[in-house]
C-alpha cells in the first residue's frame, strides 16, 4: 500500500465528525515533526487546529510563504446500514477507496502530507516557507473556532501567507479538469414576520403573517440583484426554510419565520444586499425582525496570479488537461485566507460523491495527487 493510501485509510478510520478531530491532527503532527516541521497546536473551544511550517526563514520571516489548507472533520455518515461497507472502515472495491471523508477531504489531506514530506526531503534548504494548516471545524454551521479563528491569531502574530492551495475536491470528471480560483460570498438572513393570532373564521380580528409576507417574498424572489460579471454569475436569492402555524387548521398564526441566503460575487456587496432586502420588507409594511449572518465575502485570484498560473501549468503537464478555472460551488475555508492578501486556488479530487452515502475517491487519483501538490511546491519554492 502506498504512503498516501495508507495515511488516507488511517484518517478515514478516525470518526472525526465535526467538530471532533478523533486524533487525526496528532497523527499528522507527529509525522510532520519527524520530517522537520515546526508544529503549532491551536485549540479554540472544542476545535483543534494545526499549523505546521518548514523553512530556513521560519525565524526571520523572509521569503514567500506557501500554505496548504485542509480539514480533518467530516459530515455525519447518515444511516450506516445504507452504506455498502461501514463508512469509517476504509474499503477498496473496483479501484475506489470508500469511506466518509475519502473525497472531502481526508484523501487530499493525506496527499498534502505526503507531498510535503517528499518536498522537504528533496529540498531541505528550499527558499521561503511551506506550511500546512488543518482544522476540525470546516463542515460545521458556524466555523467560529476553525480557520476563521486561526486567521485572527495570524493577524495578531504577524503571520503571512502569500499563496494558499486548498485541497477541496474540485475536479468534475478527471483529476485536474477544474480548479477553483475564487468563491462566491454567502450572506444569510433569519426573518420573523409578526402578525396577530386568531380564528380563521374571524380574519378581521387577526393579522395573518403569511398573507402579509407573500407579496414581499414575491418581490424578493423576482428582484434582479445584479448581472454578475466576467468572474462571477449573477447573485442568487433562495429561501431555504419557511414556517408558520400551530398545526391546527382553524388558527391564523401569530408569526412566520423564514431563512434565506444570498450567494454573491464581486458585482454586489453584503451591505448593499442587506439594505435592498430591508427596503423591500419596509415597502410592504411588515412588522418584522431580521438577523443577518455573513459567513464569507467573495474572493478571486485574478488571471496572471503566480499561484493560479502555476496550478494551471501543473494540471496541464501532469494531468494532460487544460483545467477549467471556476468560481462556482459553495464556500470553502479559502474565504478566510484570501483577506490576508493571499492568492488562493483549490485543487483536489473528484467531487461527485462528497457528503453522499458510499463516498469514495479513485485510488489512482489519490496516488497521483501528491505529485501535483509537490510540483506546486517545487515551482514556487524549490
Quickly count: other Cβ atoms within 10 Å of residue 292's Cβ.
Answer: 14
Query: What SS3 class is residue 132?
Result: strand
Distance CA 86, CA 72 (A): 18
User: How much is the pLDDT for 201?
Assistant: 97
CA end-to-end span of the chain, whole Å? 28
Catalytic site includes residue 6: no
User: How much is the pLDDT for 14?
Assistant: 98
Distance CA 157, CA 59 (A): 13
Distance CA 176, CA 132 (A): 21
**What cell was used for 332?**
470553502
Point out the catalytic residue in the list 73, 168, 231, 297.
73
User: How much is the pLDDT for 60?
Assistant: 58
- CA dist list (Å): 157 to 47, 130, 150, 152: 20, 17, 10, 9
Largest CA distance in the chain: 81
Beta strands across the sheet bearing 65-71: 38-44, 47-54, 129-135, 65-71, 163-166, 343-346, 178-180, 324-326
CB 369 within 8 A of CB 349: yes
CA 372 to chain centre: 20
User: How much is the pLDDT for 329?
Assistant: 87
Residue from 289, 214, 217, 210 nearest 253 by CA: 210
User: How much is the pLDDT for 58?
Assistant: 54
User: How much is the pLDDT for 56?
Assistant: 73
Distance CA 70, CA 309 (A): 21
DSSP for residue 164: E
User: How much is the pLDDT for 299?
Assistant: 94
pLDDT tens per residue, range 338-363 = 999 999 999 999 999 999 999 999 99
Point out the catalytic residue in the list 20, 48, 138, 365.
138
User: How much is the pLDDT for 364?
Assistant: 97
Sequence-distant (≥ 6) Cβ neighbours of residue 206 within 8 angstroms: 195, 196, 197, 198, 199, 252
pLDDT tens per residue, range 10-25 = 999 999 999 999 999 9
Distance CA 366, CA 301 (A): 26
pLDDT in tens, the chain (382 residues): 899 999 999 999 999 999 999 999 999 999 999 999 999 999 999 999 999 999 976 555 678 999 999 999 999 999 999 999 999 999 999 999 999 999 999 999 999 999 999 999 999 999 999 999 999 999 988 788 999 999 999 999 999 999 999 999 999 999 999 999 999 999 999 999 999 999 999 999 999 999 999 999 999 999 999 999 999 999 999 999 999 999 999 999 999 999 999 999 999 999 999 999 999 999 999 999 999 999 999 999 999 999 999 999 999 999 999 999 999 988 899 999 999 999 999 999 999 999 999 999 999 999 999 999 999 999 999 8
Catalytic site includes residue 73: yes
Distance CA 292, CA 97 (A): 40
CB 270 within 8 A of CB 294: yes
DSSP string, 172-216: SSSTTSEEESEE-EEEEEEEEEE-B-EETT-GGGSB-HHHHHHHH
User: How much is the pLDDT for 61?
Assistant: 60
Amino acid at each position: 500500500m502506498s504512503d498516501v493510501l495508507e495515511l488516507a485509510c488511517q484518517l478515514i478510520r478516525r470518526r472525526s465528525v465535526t467538530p471532533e478531530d478523533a486524533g487525526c491532527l496528532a497523527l499528522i503532527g507527529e509525522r510532520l515533526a519527524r520530517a522537520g516541521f515546526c508544529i503549532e497546536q491551536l485549540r479554540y473551544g472544542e476545535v483543534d487546529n494545526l499549523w505546521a511550517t518548514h523553512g530556513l526563514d521560519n525565524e526571520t520571516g523572509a521569503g514567500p510563504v506557501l500554505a496548504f489548507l485542509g480539514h480533518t472533520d467530516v459530515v455525519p455518515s447518515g444511516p450506516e446500514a445504507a452504506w455498502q461497507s461501514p463508512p469509517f472502515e476504509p474499503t477498496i472495491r473496483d479501484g475506489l477507496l470508500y469511506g466518509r471523508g475519502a473525497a472531502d477531504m481526508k484523501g487530499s489531506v493525506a496527499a498534502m502530507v505526503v507531498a510535503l514530506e517528499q518536498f522537504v526531503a528533496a529540498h531541505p534548504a528550499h527558499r521561503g516557507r511551506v506550511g500546512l494548516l488543518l482544522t476540525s471545524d470546516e463542515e460545521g454551521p458556524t466555523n467560529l473556532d476553525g480557520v476563521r479563528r486561526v486567521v485572527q491569531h495570524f493577524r495578531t502574530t504577524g503571520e503571512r501567507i502569500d499563496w494558499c492551495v486548498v485541497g477541496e475536491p474540485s475536479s468534475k470528471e478527471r483529476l485536474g479538469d477544474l480548479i477553483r480560483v475564487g468563491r462566491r460570498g454567502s450572506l444569510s438572513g433569519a426573518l420573523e414576520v409578526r402578525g396577530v393570532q386568531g380564528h380563521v373564521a374571524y380574519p378581521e380580528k387577526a393579522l395573518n403573517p403569511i398573507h402579509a409576507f407573500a407579496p414581499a417574498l414575491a418581490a424578493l424572489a423576482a428582484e434582479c440583484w445584479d448581472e454578475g460579471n466576467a468572474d462571477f454569475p449573477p447573485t442568487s436569492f433562495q429561501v431555504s426554510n419557511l414556517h408558520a402555524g400551530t398545526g391546527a387548521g382553524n388558527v391564523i398564526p401569530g408569526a412566520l419565520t423564514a431563512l434565506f441566503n444570498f450567494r454573491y460575487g464581486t458585482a454586489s456587496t453584503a451591505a448593499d444586499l442587506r439594505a435592498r432586502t430591508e427596503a423591500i420588507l419596509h415597502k410592504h409594511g411588515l412588522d418584522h425582525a431580521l438577523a443577518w449572518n455573513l459567513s464569507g465575502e467573495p474572493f478571486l485570484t485574478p488571471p496572471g496570479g503566480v499561484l493560479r498560473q502555476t496550478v494551471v501549468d501543473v494540471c496541464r503537464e501532469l494531468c494532460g488537461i487544460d483545467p477549467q478555472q471556476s468560481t462556482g460551488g459553495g464556500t470553502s475555508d479559502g474565504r478566510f485566507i484570501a483577506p490576508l492578501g493571499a492568492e488562493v486556488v483549490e485543487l483536489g479530487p473528484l467531487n461527485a460523491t462528497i457528503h453522499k452515502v458510499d463516498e469514495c475517491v479513485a485510488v489512482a487519483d489519490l496516488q497521483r495527487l501528491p505529485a501535483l501538490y509537490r510540483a506546486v511546491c517545487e515551482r514556487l519554492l524549490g
